[in-house]
Amino acid sequence: QVNVAIRSSLQSLREKIDQLRELLLRAVSTRQITQLEGDRRQNLVDELLTRHKQLEASYRNEGPEPDMSRSSLMAGGAKRGITNPWLLEEPEETRGLGFDELRQQQRRIIEEQDAGLDALSSIISRQKQMGQEIGNELDEQNEIIDDLTNLVENTDDRLRTQTRHVKLVDKKSTSCG
C-alpha cells in the first residue's frame, strides 16, 4: 500500500509540475509576468523537475546512496552542493510583499515605463516637427538660390550682349575716324 501511495504521489507531483510549466508559459506569452520573472520561475520549475527525478530514482534505489539522496532532498541539496531554489535571496524591493502587492508594484513599474515612453514619444514628435520645418526652410532657400542663379545667368547674358555692342561700337568708331 505504501508503494502504491508513493507511486501515486510521484505521478501526481509530475502532473502538477507539468501543469505549472504550462501555466508559466501561458503567463509569459500573455505578458502577465515579465520575461525576466518568467525565466526565474522556469528555473524553479526545472529544479522541481530535477527533484522529482531524484525522488523517483531514490524510490527505485537507482540513485546514489539512499541516505545521501534522502538527506540532500530534504536539506535542499546542501550536502551535494545543490541549492534550494526556495531559499534564494529575494530582491529587496519585493521582500515581504504579497501577491496583490507584487501585482500593484508591477503595474506601477509598467505605468512608469509608459510615462517614460510617452515622454520619449513627445520628444521624437517634436524632433520630427523640427526636421520637417528645417526641410521646408531648405526648400525655400533652394528656390531662392534657383531664382538668384537665373537672375545671375540673365545678367551675365545681358552683360555679354552689351560687351559685344560696346566692342562693335568701338570698332566702328575707330574705323570712322
Among residues 54, 47, 2, 1, the alpha carbon closest in space to that of 21 is found at 47
CA count, 13 A, side-chain hemisphere, 142: 6
The three three-digit cell numbers of residue 86, written as one number: 526556495
Q: For the chain, how big is the Rg over CA atoms in Å?
A: 41
Q: For residue range 35-59, what is the model confidence (pLDDT) as tens digits? A: 888 888 888 889 888 888 888 888 7
| Cβ atoms of 35 and 23 closer than 8 Å | no
The domain ranges of the chain are 1-62+99-175
The three three-digit cell numbers of residue 57, written as one number: 530514482
In the 8-state DSSP scheme, what is residue 88? S
What pLDDT is attached to residue 164?
A: 94
What pLDDT is attached to residue 63?
A: 47
Percent above pLDDT 70 for the chain: 82
Cα–Cα distance between 21 and 47 in angstroms, integer?
12
What predicted TM-score, i.e. pTM, was given to this entire model?
0.39
| Cβ atoms of 148 and 141 closer than 8 Å | no
Helix 66-74 / helix 35-59 crossing angle, nearest 10 deg: 150
